[in-house]
A and B are shown apart, each in its own frame.
Chain A
Amino acid sequence: MGKTLFEKIWESHVVVEKQNEPDLIYIDRHLVHEVTSPQAFDGLRMNNRKVRRPDLTIATMDHNVPTTDRSLPMLDQTSSIQIKTLENNCKDFGIKLFDIDSPNQGIVHVIGPQLGITLPGSTIVCGDSHTSTHGAFGALALGIGTSEVEHVLASQTLWLEKPKTFEVRVEGKRTNTHAVTAKDIILSIIKNIGTAGGTGTVIEYRGEGISDLSMDQRMTICNMSIEGGARAGLIAPDEKTFDYLRNREYTPKNYESLVDSWRDDLKTDSDATFDKQFILDINDITPQVSWGTNPGMTCDVDEPIPSPDEFSNGDPNQKKGAEKALEYMDLKPGTMIEDIKIDRVFIGSCTNARLEDLIEASKIIQGQKVASNVSAMVVPGSQMVKKQAEQMGLDKIFTDANFEWREAGCSMCLGMNPDILSPGERCASTSNRNFEGRQGNGGRTHLVSPVMAAAAAIHGHFVDVRKLDLN
C-alpha cells in the first residue's frame, strides 16, 4: 500500500523503532527564541551537557522585543533580561543568533523560510506552537514545550508517538482572490472541523485550492493547523516551493540535486490512505470573521452572529462556551458582522505579516485614512519583510493613512511586549488566536485576513471586502 507524505518523512527520520515503544525521531532543524528556551539552557548547564548540533540550531528574539525605536533603551526590564539571557546562552553554547539588531531578525516562523533554513522533507521543531507554519514547504514541523527543547538541544532527537494522518482537501476556485484569502480558507476549515478536530493528527492540505496558493498564503494555512488541534500541517512541495527557496542566504549548495530528489519523493502516493478526511469547497467561500473566544467561533462576513443554540448543535458545553464568549466579546446574537465597530487594527503575526499580506492590505488603504475612532498598526513579520516593503513604498502608503509602521516581532499577537489592547478594546487582528486576554487583559479580538483588517481600519467597522474595488 502507498504511503502519505507524512509517513515518508517520519520513516526517514526514525532513529530507534521498537514495538510498544515510542519512536526516536531525528530533528534536522531546531529554531530557538527567548521565551521558551531559558529553562532548557539552564537544564543543560545543570547536567554538564552541550548542545549536540549547534550547527543545526538557529535562534532569534521575537516574542517580547519592542516594535518601537530600537535605538532607545528597553523600558521593560524583565523582557530585557530574557533577551540578554538568549544572547548569553547562544554565545555559551555556540548557537547562531539573529539578535535584535540583525537585518535577519524577525518572527522565527517568518525568517526560517526567508533564509532558506526551512527545507522540504526535513523535521523542524521550535518551542512555539505555530511551528506548523513550516509545513507549507513539505517539512514536518512540530511545536514543542521547554522540556522537549532541552531534549533536542542535548540529543537532536525526540521521543514521539506517531500521529495519525488527516487529509484536508480544498477543492474549487475562489471567485475573488483579492477579497477571499488563505486566512479565510483556514478559518473556514477550523470552523468546520472544530478546535479539536485535528487532535493527534498531522494534516496534509491537498487539492486545487491549495496548489493555487502562493508560498506566503500556504504558510498562513499551515500556521493555523494548531488552531484546529493538529500536531502539524503539511503541503507537498512543488515548483513554487522550490523556486521560493532557491538562492536564499542559507539554501544548501547542492540545492538542485536536492530538488531533484524532493520532486520524486515528497508526495503522497496515489494509493495511500488517510485516517481521517475533510473536504472544503471554496467556490462560494466568503471572508471570515471570528466573533467568539476561540478560532472555531467564526462566521461569514455577511452572516449574523449565531445564537448559542445555533452554534452548539445541542452540545451543552459548546452552548455554555458560546454564551461566555458573547459576554466576554460584548456581542449579541443576530448582530450583523458589518455592524461591529472596532477600536484597534493589528496587521502582523506569524500568520499574516509576510510581504504579500502587506501588499494586499496596502491596496485597500491607498489614498485613504484610518477612521478617526481607530488606531492601527502594521508590524512586519521580519526585518527583511520590512525592508522589502519599504523598497516598494508600502511603509509610506500605511503611514500616509495614519497606520503606525513598526519594527518586526510577535507584538500584539500575544501581548508580551507593550503592544497590547486595553480592557474592552475591540481589535480587528490578522493574528491566530482570539482567546480571552490574548492581546491584553480584557481585550476583544476578531480574527480576520489582512485585507479585512485594512478595510475595517478605514471604515471603523467590519466591511465585506468583496464589495470594494480591489483591482
Chain B
Amino acid sequence: MKGNIIKYPRDNIDTDVIIPGQYLKVHDYAELATHAMEGLDPDFHSKVKEGDFILSGKNFGCGSSREHAPIALSHCGVKAILALSFARIFYRNSVDGAFLLPIEIDQDAYDGISEGDEIDIDVSKNEIKNITKNQTYKMKPFSEIIGKIIAAGGLFKYKPDQD
C-alpha cells in the first residue's frame, strides 16, 4: 500500500482536534470529512489526497470514543495512521469499521520519515519502505485479534476460527 506522508510531529493528537464536538451531529460522511483535523490544521482538507498517510507521535487519538474521528479521516482518503502509539478506543474504532490502518512505528521510522515522503506499507512483512529516501523500517505487528478483524474487513465480518 503506497501513499504520501502528512506529518504532525507531536504527541497526544486527540479526537477533539481530529473532529471537533460540534460536528458529531453531522451524519453525511463527505461533509464530516471537510472538517477533519480542523482543530489542529485548518489547511488539512485542502492538502490531503486520496491514499495519504498521517504520521504522528505518541498516544494518537486520545480522548473521546467518537468513531467519527477515523471516519472523517478515512473519508478524506487517509488510508493509514503511522504513530509511535495509539489510544485504544481510536485504535479499535479504526479497524472495527475497516476505516483505516493504525500502524505502530518505532523511533527510527518516526525520525526518518518526513512530510511528503512516499511510503510503501507491507503489512504481510511488517515492513515500511520509504521510497523517497530509500530506507526500510519495521512496523509493530498487529495483535492476533486486530490482524484477524483487519483481514476479515471489519468487526461484523470477523468470525473466530472453527475448531
Binding site for B on A (CB under 8 A): 16, 18, 20-22, 24, 35-36, 38-39, 43, 47, 63-64, 76, 78-79, 81-82, 127-129, 143-148, 150-151, 159, 161, 195-196, 199-200, 226, 229, 231, 294, 317-318, 320-321, 324, 414-416, 420, 433, 435-438, 441
Residues of B within 8 A of A231 (CB): 88
Count of residues in B whose CB is under 8 Å from the partner chain: 46
Q: A147-B97, A195-B59 are in contact. List 20 more A-B contacts (CB 8 A).
A: A36-B67, A128-B64, A128-B65, A129-B63, A143-B65, A146-B67, A147-B154, A148-B92, A151-B155, A151-B156, A161-B146, A196-B59, A196-B62, A196-B85, A199-B88, A229-B62, A294-B12, A317-B10, A436-B17, A441-B22
Partner of A416, one of B22, B57, B85, B156: B22
Tell me how far the C-beta of B13 lies from the nearest C-beta in chain A, rounded to whole angstroms.
Answer: 10
Whole-angstrom CA separation of A294 from B97 in the bound complex: 27
Give the Cβ gap from A210 to chain B, nearest Cβ, in Å.
24
Note all chain B residues with C-beta closer than 8 A to A436.
16-17, 39-40
Q: Return chain A residues, CB-CB under 8 Å to B149.
A: 159
Closest 4 CB pairs of A and B: A147-B96, A145-B93, A22-B145, A196-B59
Residue of B whose beta carbon sits closest to that of A316: B9
Tell me the minimal C-beta distance from A323 to chain B in angstroms: 10
Complex CA gap A388/B53 in Å reads 51
Beta-carbon contacts under 8 Å, B12-31 to A: 12, 14, 16-17, 20-22, 24-27
Q: Is the interface of A mostly helix, strand, loop or mixed?
A: loop
A interface footprint on B20-64 (CB within 8 Å = 1, 0 otherwise): 111011110000000000011000000000000000011100111
Q: Which residues of A contact B24 (CB under 8 A)?
A: 35, 63-64, 416
List 12 A–B pairs whose Cβ atoms lie within 8 Å, in order of A's numbering: A18-B161, A21-B145, A64-B24, A129-B65, A146-B93, A148-B93, A196-B62, A199-B87, A229-B87, A433-B63, A436-B17, A437-B20
> Is B89's CB under 8 angstroms from A199's CB?
no
Given the known A-B contacts A159-B155, A195-B59, A436-B39, are A145 and B22 also in contact in the complex, defined by CB atoms under 8 Å? Answer: no
Instruction: Please measure, in the bound complex, the distance between the C-alpha atom of A119 and the C-alpha atom of B163, giving whole angstroms.
Output: 36
B-side residues, CB < 8 A to A, are 9-12, 14, 16-17, 20-22, 24-27, 39-40, 57-59, 62-67, 85, 87-89, 92-93, 96-97, 143-146, 148-149, 154-156, 158, 160-161, 163
CA of A82 to CA of B68, assembled, Å: 15
B21 touches A416 (CB 8 A): yes
Question: How many A-B pairs with Cβ below 8 Å?
Answer: 150
Q: How many angstroms between the C-alpha atoms of A395 and B39 in the bound complex?
A: 36
Q: In the complex the two chains form, is B62's CB within 8 Å of A294's CB?
A: yes
Partner of A147, one of B10, B67, B161: B67
Give Cα A53 to B12, complex, Å: 37
Given contacts A151-B156, A195-B12, A294-B62, contact A415 B22 (CB under 8 A): yes
Contacts of B155 in A (CB 8 A): 147-148, 151, 159
The answer to whether residues A438 and B21 also contact, given A144-B89, A147-B155 and a CB cut-off of 8 A, is yes
B155 to chain A, nearest CB (A): 5
Query: CA separation between A22 and B143, bound complex, in Å?
Result: 10
Q: Which of B21, B40, B59, B92 contacts A199 (CB 8 A)?
A: B59
The smallest C-beta distance from A107 to any residue of chain B, in angstroms, reads 14
Does B156 contact A321, Cβ atoms closer than 8 Å? no
**What is the chain A residue whose CB lies nearest that of B146?**
A161
User: In the complex, A64 Cα to B58 Cα: how many Å?
Assistant: 30
A147, A151, A196, A318: the one within 8 Å of B87 (CB) = A196
Please measure, in the bound complex, the distance between the C-alpha atom of A16 and the C-alpha atom of B163, giving whole angstroms: 12
Contact (Cβ within 8 A) B161 A435: no
Q: A226 — which chain B residues lie within 8 A by C-beta? A: 63
- In angstroms, Cα B26 to Cα A64, docked, is 12
Least Cβ–Cβ distance between A51 and chain B, in angstroms: 15
Q: Which residue of A lies closest to B143 (CB)?
A: A161
Residue of B nearest to A23 (CB): B145
